[in-house]
């Protein structure tokens, strides 16, 4: 159950943002393959933000439910693949942050 929020600074050119939007299906494929989850459980979105000039213009926050096979090494490797993929698509430096969701307090309604 990965949740990905891609924060894209408003100063990024429209063409690059369009490329990011068009790359979302391929990104979801990558995430689902690497984390072994069904696409119906993966939520990805792009959020326009006003950031400071000295910050990374594309920042990704990923939230995951912990699983035994999602070791730190696996999560770091997946985060690196996501960062590299988005950097290639956007031609921007990308920062990725990953946090675990507490399964005891997590609630979802569909």
Please write the tens of the pLDDT for every residue from 45-56: 999 999 999 999
Residue 14, class by beta-carbon neighbours within 10 Å (0-12 exposed, 13-18 middle, 19+ buried)?
Answer: exposed
Would you state the pLDDT for residue 45? 97
Given pLDDT bands bounded at 50, 70 and 90, which one contains residue 110?
confident
Q: pTM of this prediction?
A: 0.92
pLDDT > 90? residue 103: no
CB 48 within 8 A of CB 68: no
Would you state the pLDDT for residue 109? 84
The 10s digit of each residue's pLDDT in 1-39 is 799 999 999 999 999 999 999 999 999 999 999 999 999
Q: Does domain 3-100 have CATH number 3.20.20.70?
A: no
């Amino acid at each position: 159950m990965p949740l990905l929020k891609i924060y894209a600074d408003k100063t990024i050119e429209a063409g690059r943002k369009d490329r990011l939007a068009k790359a979302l299906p391929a990104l979801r494929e990558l995430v689902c393959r690497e984390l072994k989850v069904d696409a119906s459980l993966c939520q990805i979105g792009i959020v326009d933000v006003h950031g400071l000039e000295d910050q990374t213009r594309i920042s990704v926050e990923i939230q995951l439910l912990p699983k035994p096979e999602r070791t730190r090494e696996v999560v770091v490797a997946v985060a690196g693949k996501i960062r590299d993929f988005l950097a290639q698509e956007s031609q921007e430096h990308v920062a990725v942050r990953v946090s675990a969701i507490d399964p005891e307090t997590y609630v979802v309604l569909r």
